[in-house]
Structure 1
């Protein structure tokens, strides 16, 4: 699944799952730009590490919820690398709270980042992809889209919205050579899951058929496949990478 000659853009790419995706795509030969919002130190460290390995990498500071900043980020990528072949919308946040006490800000922040951010970058990036008549879009969903968890009505709504958005987008762009798919992680060892893991410990692992938490590299593997030529006949799909969590068995 060689990506030499391809150009990728990853949002939320400085740490966690995003960092693993950036490293995987760069390791496969792609030129990779990634967006970060606040952690400049982590972004610069990742860029320096990959450049030392011979990869072409560009770190871009942007707020994904801003249409203007999304447009500018995509323009930076196409100016620097001449094209854009792969878009991975990974940026996401949580602002958990029960519906009865959730504030408007908690709702708005999650929807603006997780869902509107996907719209912003997809609209900006696919203009180039359509003119190239080639593109791979991978939007990060979550098992939360169809696996209920109290306190996450905003997060679940954003992720379910991403899946519906992606299916419609896949239908619109298929004739232009652009595929659109989602990856839905389960419990992955990242900063976002630390609190949950600390609260429930081994109970979480017992609920997962493969009896372990996922690693960011497990998600990066799936993204790499969907970004490659080998996935050319797959579009409008959601690939759950959850160790069997959503199978619903009692094993």
Structure 2
């Protein structure tokens, strides 16, 4: 039986990840979130820890608490925030709060996991925003771009300890969120991709579980784009000119 720790487990993606592990594997789960009430509603058997990961010492503490149940095998860093704030309006407090949860927390929990001297797998949750900024999303996009580099750096250094570190980068996935509601026109615009549908939390959860499994035992330092192909290019744009290649002739 593997022991899996999931942060941000009360949120849409974190909850789906926890449920997917519980449904498909014989696992012990430790779930962490700042919202204790919503965390209690996650319909899986688990140890639940209510904690604010923006506090540096809390990152070490949640790993230590989880370890008391059993040594950890998998760490999934799914906790994150994505407020809308223009770069011209951002202040130090907002910037630091975003980076504290989206970047520093997964770095510190990964370090705490690695210090225990046990091999295992870490999966960070990034975002397509790491590659493409959007109006109002600059600080969030910056934090996710930094998280992807931190993922590679950790993979480079922790491989000799038997720890694989990867990330899943979702495209647009519709999740319920009281603090970060998504307008219908925005959802319609960002749902355009080659596969023609927005993502589901289960799409991300399956990718996380695969990266954490032995089936991915020779994969580390990778960013897995789970986005319906939207990072491949802009499929919704028209052709600049008609196709000039005809059968039997060169253009």
TM-score (norm 2): 0.88
Equivalent residue number for residue 44 of structure 2: 50
Cα distance 1:108–1:194, how it changes in 2: closer, same or farther (>3 A)?
A: closer
Q: Deviations over 1:135-159 (max 9, x none)?
A: 1000111010011212212111110
Consecutive unaligned residues of structure 1, counting only runs of 5 or more, are 52-56
The whole-number CA distance in structure 1 between the counterparts of 2:18 and 2:188 is 30
Equivalent residue number for residue 66 of structure 2: 77
Equivalent residue number for residue 8 of structure 1: 4
Q: Looking at CA atoms only, which structure, 1 or 2, has the larger radius of gyration?
A: 2
Equivalent residue number for residue 96 of structure 2: 108
Aligned residues: 234
**8 A Cα contact 2:193 2:229, kept in partner:** yes
Displacement of 1:197 in angstroms is 4.3
Q: Deviations over 1:72-115 (max 9, x none)?
A: 1111111112x011000000001221111122222111111101
Consecutive unaligned residues of structure 2, counting only runs of 5 or more, are 237-251
Specify which of 170, 184, 203 is matched with residue 198 of structure 1.
Answer: 184
The whole-number CA distance in structure 2 between the counterparts of 1:237 and 1:201 is 27
Q: Report 1:143-162 matches (<5 A).
A: 143-162=128-147
Specify which of 85, 89, 96 is matched with residue 97 of structure 1.
Answer: 85
The whole-number CA distance in structure 2 between the counterparts of 1:199 and 1:249 is 18
Specify which of 31, 53, 66 is matched with residue 64 of structure 1.
Answer: 53
Displacement of 1:191 in angstroms is 3.0
The whole-number CA distance in structure 2 between the counterparts of 1:237 and 1:209 is 22
